[in-house]
Amino acid sequence: MDIELFKKEAHALVEWIADYYREIEKYPVKSQVKPKEIFNQLPVSPPQKSEAIPAIMEDFQKIIMPGITHWQSPNFFAYFPANSSYPSVLAEMLTAALGAQCMIWETSPAAAELEEKVMNWLKQMMGLPESWYGVIQDTASSATLCAILSAREKATNYETNNNGFSQNNFRVYGSTQTHSSIDKAVKIAGIGKNNLIKVAVDENLALDPDALEKAIKTDLLNGKKPLCVIATIGTTGTTAIDPIKEIAAVCKKYDIWLHVDAAFAGTALILPEMHYMADGLDMVDSYVFNPHKWMFTNFDCSAYYVKDKETLIRTFEIMPEYLKTAVDSQVNNYRDWGIALGRRFRALKLWFVIRSFGVDGIRERIRNHIKMAQELVKKMKEHGSFEILAPVPLNVICFRFKPKNMSDENELNKLNETLLKQLNASGKIYMTHTKIDDKYTIRMVIGQTYVLQKHVDTAWELIQETAKNLKK
Ligand SMILES: Cc1ncc(COP(=O)(O)O)c(C=O)c1O
């Protein structure tokens, strides 16, 4: 491909992208293909000769698109969103075009300095402690792993890095609602899944600080070393909000690292009225939230903050001769702020998003998502045959269909499983489920970048209609 052809194909692709966004609602939200359906349509071996982009695009439309779940559809109400937006897509094109590998300052000074700047902007936007240091990670899973590894190194005076474990009696604590990335992190960090203690939650499904302290005391009596607590602002199941201040007090008392996982809900801190969730954040050691979930910045972009950057850097520092530069003492070399050496230029899309939406624009959308969810909760309660199964502090509604004449829990579970299956098979909306107290629970997240009231209204009508027909 030469540059003239590149230009022609690039223009055609931008047209395709614009049409895709314009017509996104014509696609089934959840891909309807069966396992191996895509794989079996693709040739066994790669092409020997060059193929033209239009031919590749034809196969993209015919073979690949049916296997895509449309996360950017305004009718996507599943999981947590992985939002993109027009400015984010534009920035991602530039990132790909520049192809910069931003491992150290010198390999692209603008990338390092823009990253430092946008991470400072986010602190201001979200009202996070000014003294924190920020770095963009690929995912919240990596950020949480960084937190646990930093806690481990600090507790062992960086000796585990040098010699491996001499003895592992560490304990990590989360709640029964903590995300599975913490299970993964303790496995990778060598602490072990059996040393992850899942503390009980209260009636709002938030971590109970008294139960936490009790677990810590028991462990201390048994010769264990409490290492790290993971508190969550916005749990994955129900967006429960752990009481950070009370948990921080316990951590301070026993000198334990406190990491806060606000992967999804952290974006809501842009709203002053949601700032109660941040009470106590000034006492934590590390914090993560994902602009790639709810802040219109396409995957991957995870904002990780630490109180003490020296601990982070000492945990991950490497210094091979070929990476030494004359300016090392004056700049941030982000290769030492996380796991990977190679780094994408992720700050660019965040910069585009923040500038294009403006803080007010982001705030308005987030506020509207929460408002739409709260209004739908009211309608579900008024309906009489729907039950809200967990508090709705934000924009995630956990509900089930509960016809007046049905009380058997097994029957209700089956009914709601069928309801969700039918709704998703319709291709018109996509939601996922969780279990609360063994109750099959449908989870509806109203947080897609371009979701409007009309989409929520149509979804609610579809839910009612499908449920009504199930009963017969
Ligand atoms: C609370 C919470 N923490 C962590 C994660 C993991 O996020 P990531 O995919 O960025 O690793 C999720 C994903 O949904 C989450 O809900």
Confidence bin at 395 (pLDDT 50/70/90): very high
Query: How many CB atoms are located within 10 Å of the residue 23 CB?
Result: 9
Q: Within 10 Å of residue 245's Cβ, how many Cβ atoms?
A: 14
Peptide bond into 210 cis (omega under 30): no
* 0.75 surpassed by pTM: yes
**Measured between alpha carbons, how far is 95 from 108 in angstroms, rounded to an integer?**
12
Whether 316 maps to a domain, the answer reads yes
- Cα torsion for 17, 19, 21, 23, to the nearest 10°? -150
Query: Does the pLDDT value for residue 276 go beyond 80?
Result: yes
The average pLDDT across 450-465 equals 98
Q: How far is the CA of 264 from the centre of ligand 1 (A)?
A: 7
**Rounded CA separation 405/441 (Å):** 19
How far apart are the C-alpha atoms of 390 and 229, rounded to whole Å? 24
**pLDDT tens digit string along 341-357?**
999 999 999 999 999 99
C-alpha–C-alpha distance, residues 442 and 465, integer Å: 16
- Give the rounded distance of the alpha carbon of 216 from its chain centre: 28
pLDDT of 359 higher than 90: yes
Range 89-99 average pLDDT: 98
**Residue 161 belongs to domain spanning:** 93-353
Residues of the chain with pLDDT > 90: what percent?
Answer: 96
* C-alpha 181 – ligand 1 centre gap (Å): 7
Alpha carbon of 384 to ligand 1 centroid (Å) = 33
| 410 in any annotated domain | no
Is residue 7 situated within a structural domain? no
pLDDT digits (tens, 9 = 90+) for 293-305: 999 999 999 999 9
Q: Locate the ligand 1 atom nearest the alpha carbon of residue 302 and give its number.
A: 10
Any domain includes 213: yes
147 DSSP assignment: H
How far away, in angstroms, is 57 Cα from ligand 1 center? Answer: 32
Place of tokens 């003490």: 308
* pLDDT at residue 194 is higher than 70: yes
Q: Is 232 in the pocket of ligand 1 (CB under 6 A)?
A: yes
Q: Which atom of ligand 1 is nearest to the CA of 141?
A: 11
pLDDT tens string 41-80: 999 999 999 999 999 999 999 999 999 999 999 999 999 9
The alpha carbon of 135 and the centre of ligand 1 are apart by a number of angstroms equal to: 17
Tell me the C-alpha distance between 216 and 211, whole Å: 9
- For position 175, which CATH number holds? 3.40.640.10
Residue 471 has pLDDT above 80, yes or no: no
431/422 Cα distance (integer angstroms): 11
Compute the distance from residue 236 Cα to the ligand 1 centre, in Å.
7
User: Given ligand 1 and candidates 137, 141, 180, which is best to mutate, with the most ligand atoms within 8 Å of its CB?
Assistant: 141
Q: Each residue of 23-32: pLDDT tens digit? A: 999 999 999 9
Q: Is 194 within a domain?
A: yes
Run of H or E residues at 165 = none
Residue type, 21: Y
236 CB within 6 A, ligand 1:
yes
Q: Which amino acid is at 68?
A: I
Angle between helices 347-383 and 109-126 (to 10 degrees): 30
| Residue 46 within a domain | no
Tell me the best of 182, 188, 290 to mutate to test the pocket of ligand 1, counting ligand atoms within 8 Å of each CB and taking the most: 290
The mean pLDDT value of the chain amounts to: 97
Q: What is the pLDDT of residue 323?
A: 87
The answer to whether position 44 is within a domain reads: no
Asked if residue 285 is part of any domain, the answer here is yes
* C-beta of 290 in contact with ligand 1 (< 6 A): yes
Q: Is 263 in the pocket of ligand 1 (CB under 6 A)?
A: yes
195-247 pLDDT, tens digit per residue, is: 999 999 999 999 999 999 999 999 999 999 999 999 999 999 999 999 999 99
Please report the pLDDT score of residue 265 as a whole number.
98
Flag whether pLDDT at 472 surpasses 60.
no
pLDDT computed for residue 322 by the predictor: 86
The total domain count for the chain is 1
Q: For the chain, report the end-to-end CA distance as a whole number of angstroms.
A: 60
Q: Confirm or reject: Cβ of 315 under 6 Å from ligand 1.
A: no
Residue 434 beta carbon below 6 angstroms from any ligand 1 atom: no
- CA dist 307 and 134 (Å) reads 9
Find the 451 Cα to ligand 1 centroid distance in Å.
21
| Atom from ligand 1 closest to the CA of residue 143 | 11
